[in-house]
Amino acid sequence: MKVFSSTVRLATTKKTEEVKITDQVEAVVHESGVSDGIVHIFTGHTTASLHLNNADRDLEADFHDFLNELVPNKPTYRHNKGDYGKNADAHFKSLLVGNGVTIQVTRGKLSLGQWQAIYFSEFDGPRKRLVSIKVIGGGKKPADE
């Protein structure tokens, strides 16, 4: 079994935004040489998330509108009154969406659905962000070629 690790560095440009990272993850999978296995994408940031969704610009905006309605940034949150900033809503959004995604790798390709893409969600930007990628599995065998 092979284990390959890499990172993707992002610089978000807005307070909230969706950054499609499918191409970067595919490049890491290709570089890994793993043909059958899994890839796990993770961010350790507590005001950002990772998820799969339909690759549609309007849906990206709708997603943030939905989260803003679901989780408004109330001035009454204790975190917003402290020394940590006024971003309690960003932390809650991160908790709801999650900070990791695992995808199957088949024949060296991501096994995504027809319309799926991998997104990094920024909830408290603009910031410099880091995404960790770990590919685990087997390489090509001579019989597979």
Residues 73-84 have pLDDT tens digits of 999 999 999 887
pTM over 0.75: yes
CB atoms within 10 A of CB 46: 14
Percent over 90 (pLDDT), the chain: 92
Q: How confident is the model at residue 141 (pLDDT cuts 50, 70, 90)?
A: low
Name the H helices within the chain: 22-32, 57-70, 78-81, 88-97
What CATH number is given for 2-144 in this structure?
2.60.120.460
Residues 30-74 have pLDDT tens digits of 999 999 999 999 999 999 999 999 999 999 999 999 999 999 999
Cα distance between residue 88 and residue 91, in whole Å: 5
Percent over 70 (pLDDT), the chain: 97
Per-residue buried b or exposed e for 2-14, using 16+ beta carbons within 10 Å of the residue's own CB: eebebebebebee
Q: Would you give the DSSP letter of residue 61?
A: H
